[in-house]
Amino acid sequence: MTTASNNNARDPSGYLTSPPSTVVKVVGTARDDINGLLGIVLSYNMERERYLVHMTSSQSTMALKKENIQKASMMEKYRCQFQQLQNDPRVREKVAHYVRWCENQVQPYKLWHVLGAALLFAVIMLYFFGFTKCLMVTSMFILLLVIVLPDILNKASPTVILQRFPQRSREALEQQLPFLRGKLSDRMAVAIIMVVVAFTLQSLFVGSGSSTPKVSPPPRPTNNAPKAALSTAAASTTKEMMEKYYHLGFQDAIDGKDKGFSIQEELKKLADVQHRSLVTEEQEEPLADVINDDFDYYPTTPPPPPKPLLSRLFSFSAMGSMFYIYRMLKEKGIDQSTGLFSVGQLAANLQHHTELWQQAMLLFSVYNLMRVVLSW
């Protein structure tokens, strides 16, 4: 009980972390010029009952009561980090140093011209190859750059860079994948790097589309010719039919029959003849023509067969998801003191010490891997 009270007295609001990382916002002070500012909690002064907060906008330290600070939201955390990077003199000095170094490397050209050309090249690559393939190529170049960058910074000759490439490859792989330490030779490391490069180039230049040609629907049959012939025949026989019906009516009047009796009988005969002709035509008409004409049915291309599981697992998205899941399990689930994996520690770290965007990326990686394996 005494220990708990001492801890509470040393950090009443629970803002202290090691290293300092809790972002807070100033609220409720008598000074309107500091209300709303963001800072990082450094320590707590028990005598004055004040938190010492590093203000990222002014790069100064202020002592504030616990009632005058509150935890920042996620967007405010990002804004605080940006302010720290923007206003920290050490960061600005480093950025200026790297800018000068880049300007010296691209002489006699201007740095902004080179960056503009690189941006234009990236846009062209995106247009012709798409986002996924460009991301793969960028990752490949970053991997190669990480391997040869130490020798480039030491201004080594191309021959020396090539000679040290196997060793640098092994060191880079062991740094990114600690479980490979002591298990890789220089030749094996170079082989892995070459496989990655070959896979990237193969994905870039070999199309992934299906070779099955698309089947265009056949043109719908038109009945313009029969309709034109029917209208022509009707026009040519109108006069004869009118004369025939007139004589039938006149003969009914002479014979004392009901008005229109013979005309009705004649119309029934014509209807029977027309019905028999239509039935005969429907029986002789091919089934495919009937379907195409009445239901707009056209043959479609069958879907391509699913890829084998091994091919799906070696896709770019699946490998990226597996790598991210591995990194999260390694960072959040392994106890640094013992080096053993713990499910309980993993769950606690994911719940309390993982940013929301990292949790979202982990869920997306798990979903993407399940989708690839189960062929959703």
Question: Does 102 share its domain with 123?
Answer: yes
Confidence band, pLDDT 50/70/90 cuts, at residue 212: very low
Question: Does 120 share its domain with 148?
Answer: no
How many domains are there within the chain? 5
**213 belongs to a structural domain:** no
**291 belongs to a structural domain:** no
The residues near 114 (Cβ < 8 Å, ≥ 6 apart) are 106
Residues 243-271: what's their mean pLDDT? Answer: 73
**325 belongs to a structural domain:** yes
**187 belongs to a structural domain:** yes
Highest mean pLDDT among 38-52, 92-106, 176-190, 192-206: 38-52
Confidence band, pLDDT 50/70/90 cuts, at residue 195: confident
> For the range 308-314, what are the long-range contacts, defined as Cβ-Cβ under 8 Å and sequence gap of 24 or more?
309/373, 312/372, 312/373, 312/375, 313/372, 313/373, 314/199
Listed range (1-15, 160-174, 290-304, 349-363) with the worst mean pLDDT: 290-304
Residues 118-130: what's their mean pLDDT? Answer: 86
**147 belongs to a structural domain:** yes
Question: Does 9 share its domain with 83?
Answer: yes
Checking if the pLDDT of 336 tops 60, the result is: yes
pLDDT in tens, 53-101: 999 988 899 999 999 999 998 889 989 989 988 888 888 898 888 889 8
| Mean pLDDT, the chain, integer | 78
- Helix, strand, or coil (residue 217): coil
The Cα 124–Cα 118 span in angstroms is 10
Checking if the pLDDT of 376 tops 80, the result is: no
CA torsion 337-340-345-350 (nearest 10°) is 100
Q: Which of 16, 5, 77, 80 is nearest to 43 (CA)?
A: 16
Give me the domain span that covers residue 159.
134-206
Residues 152/161, Cβ–Cβ less than 8 Å: yes
Question: Does 332 share its domain with 364?
Answer: yes
Question: Does 111 share its domain with 144?
Answer: no
Query: Which position has the higher pLDDT, 133 or 124?
Result: 124
Report whether the peptide linkage leading into residue 19 is cis, meaning its omega lies within 30 degrees of zero.
yes
**Of the residues 77, 107, 129, which one is the last residue of a structural domain?**
129
Confidence band, pLDDT 50/70/90 cuts, at residue 5: very low
Question: Does 83 share its domain with 17?
Answer: yes
Residues 7-29: what's their mean pLDDT? Answer: 87
Confidence band, pLDDT 50/70/90 cuts, at residue 300: low
H or E element in which residue 227 lies:
helix 224-255
Confidence band, pLDDT 50/70/90 cuts, at residue 2: very low
Residue 298's pLDDT is 55
Residues 26/69, Cβ–Cβ less than 8 Å: yes
Structure tokens at 369: 């891997």
Confidence band, pLDDT 50/70/90 cuts, at residue 35: very high
Question: Does 81 share its domain with 92?
Answer: no
The Cα 46–Cα 263 span in angstroms is 118
What separation in angstroms does the CA of 172 have from each of 75, 162, 320, 359?
34, 15, 18, 27
Partnered with residue 23 across adjacent β-strands are 40
Question: Does 72 share its domain with 12?
Answer: yes
Q: Which of 2, 3, 4, 6 is nearest to 46 (CA)?
A: 6
Residue 236's pLDDT is 55
Residues 128-137: what's their mean pLDDT? Answer: 80
Question: Does 154 share its domain with 195?
Answer: yes
In the sheet that holds 38-45, the strands lie side by side as: 60-64, 50-55, 38-45, 23-26, 69-71
Checking if the pLDDT of 227 tops 60, the result is: no
Residues 237-251: what's their mean pLDDT? Answer: 71
**253 belongs to a structural domain:** yes
Question: Does 123 share its domain with 165?
Answer: no
pTM above 0.75, yes or no: no
Residues 39/51, Cβ–Cβ less than 8 Å: no
**229 belongs to a structural domain:** no
Whole-number CA gyration radius for the chain = 41
Residues 227/167, Cβ–Cβ less than 8 Å: no
